[in-house]
A and B are shown apart, each in its own frame.
Chain A
Amino acid sequence: MRALGKGSLASIIKVVLDIAWVVLWVAAGCLALGVVCYLGVVAAIQFGALSPEVLESSSRTVEVGPVTVETRSEDRLVFHVVAPALLSAAVAVGGALVILWRLKHLFKNFTSGEPFSRDNASHLRVIWIAMLVMELSRYAIAAAVALFVAIFGQPERTTIEVDAPVNFMTWCAIFVLIVLAEVFREGARLKEEQELTI
């Protein structure tokens, strides 16, 4: 089976990416709905229409992305956790949308049989930048959870654990993509030069 061109492996991957694109937009819609619902419940509690107990969590352990928060106090975890959780989900879905959008264009070009173009180099560059932002946001979210607990909760009665502080696979993928982006840029330059060689 061919890797590039019509009816190739690239065209099959492009179809899969198109499906993933739709699924991701549904996830983004659900996230937006979740934010609206949460804000609505908070507003209803403020106006006395709902009891604050609605937002109480029965669990004392909550996972927010890479962070696990465990409390031994009577505090509600909800407030400390919801904001970072929503931020974590927004970064994950937003980053995935950017990456998928660029991948779709990348594989569209692969399907048309033109791998070496400046556009493809740009797509790869945006993908590694998005991955870098998503990875760095893991640390930012861990810091945000700790900050929220320190300000609004009882830090002495709370344990925060960060899962896999350094994700080697992600960092490897980022470095590989950095190199690949430059390889594609050089390939595009050579192709342009070859086209202008008479």
Chain B
Amino acid sequence: MAIRVTLDRILLERRMSLTDLSERVGVTLANLSILKTGKAKAIRFSTLNALCRVLECQPGELLSFEPSEDDAELEGADQVAE
């Protein structure tokens, strides 16, 4: 997955633990752990909204795009199709 969740960096900057975030956002520790380790397939707007509210950040600060080999292949396929 080319989309990375930079939750660990923001938590470090805010000096906040995952348990504290879990209590304040209302998302279980297990689900936040899935999000933090990049195993999540999707994120709800409501969850993103709660995270941004508690961490006082923008959605763009929580997510980053790092192209993988799969994305390079997809881009190549798109160019061939054009």
Instruction: Identify the A interface with B (CB < 8 A).
Output: 192-193, 196-198
Distance in Å from the Cβ of B31 to the closest Cβ of chain A?
A: 5
Distance in Å from the Cβ of B50 to the closest Cβ of chain A?
A: 10
Give 1 or 0 for each of B26-65: 1 = CB within 8 Å of chain A CB: 0100011011000111111001000000000000000000
Give 1 or 0 for each of B6-43: 1 = CB within 8 Å of chain A CB: 00000000000000000000010001101100011111
Residues on the B chain within 8 Å of A192, using CB: 41
Task: State the majority secondary structure of interface residues on A.
Answer: mixed
Residues on the B chain within 8 Å of A193, using CB: 41-42
Candidates B27, B32, B42, B47; contact of A196 at CB < 8 Å: B42
A to B CB contacts below 8 Å, 23 in the list: A192-B41, A193-B41, A193-B42, A196-B34, A196-B39, A196-B40, A196-B41, A196-B42, A197-B40, A197-B41, A197-B42, A197-B43, A197-B44, A198-B27, A198-B31, A198-B32, A198-B34, A198-B35, A198-B40, A198-B42, A198-B43, A198-B44, A198-B47
Residues on the B chain within 8 Å of A197, using CB: 40-44
- Please measure, in the bound complex, the distance between the C-alpha atom of A27 and the C-alpha atom of B17, giving whole angstroms: 64
Residues on the A chain within 8 Å of B41, using CB: 192-193, 196-197
Residues on the A chain within 8 Å of B27, using CB: 198
| Closest residue on chain A to residue B5 by CB atoms | A198
Residues on the B chain within 8 Å of A198, using CB: 27, 31-32, 34-35, 40, 42-44, 47
- Please measure, in the bound complex, the distance between the C-alpha atom of A192 and the C-alpha atom of B41, giving whole angstroms: 9
Residues on the B chain within 8 Å of A196, using CB: 34, 39-42
Distance in Å from the Cβ of A152 to the closest Cβ of chain B?
A: 60
The 3 closest A-B pairs by CB, nearest first: A196-B41, A197-B42, A198-B31
Residues on the A chain within 8 Å of B44, using CB: 197-198
- Please measure, in the bound complex, the distance between the C-alpha atom of A196 and the C-alpha atom of B30, giving whole angstroms: 11
Residues on the A chain within 8 Å of B34, using CB: 196, 198
- Please measure, in the bound complex, the distance between the C-alpha atom of A193 and the C-alpha atom of B34, giving whole angstroms: 13
- Please measure, in the bound complex, the distance between the C-alpha atom of A196 and the C-alpha atom of B31, giving whole angstroms: 8
Distance in Å from the Cβ of B3 to the closest Cβ of chain A?
A: 13
Distance in Å from the Cβ of B33 to the closest Cβ of chain A?
A: 10
Residue from B27, B32, B34, B41 having most chain A Cβ neighbours under 10 A: B41
- Please measure, in the bound complex, the distance between the C-alpha atom of A55 and the C-alpha atom of B47, giving whole angstroms: 78
- Please measure, in the bound complex, the distance between the C-alpha atom of A83 and the C-alpha atom of B53, giving whole angstroms: 77
Distance in Å from the Cβ of A188 to the closest Cβ of chain B?
A: 14
Residues on the A chain within 8 Å of B32, using CB: 198
